[in-house]
Amino acid sequence: MRLLLLPSYSPNLNLIERLWGFAKRRSVYGWYHPDFASFRTAIEATLAGIPTTHATP
């Protein structure tokens, strides 16, 4: 048996955590969503508005 050391948890380096933080700031903070459907629509609209290509200088 060989012991493998895993890196410590670092949410700042995990890209999905950064994406979720961005989505929360854009669509959850400061907004009231009366039901799950409106919450989901807001999250989906935020994620759909993120460009998927990089700008080149």
pLDDT in tens, 2-24: 887 767 777 667 788 888 889 99
pLDDT value of position 1: 87
Mean pLDDT value across residues 48-53 = 88
What's the chain's average pLDDT? 86
Kindly indicate the confidence band of residue 34, based on its pLDDT and cuts at 50, 70 and 90. very high
Domain ranges (residues) in the chain: 15-46
Counting every residue, how long is the chain? 57
Percent of the chain with pLDDT over 70: 93
pTM (predicted TM-score):
0.64
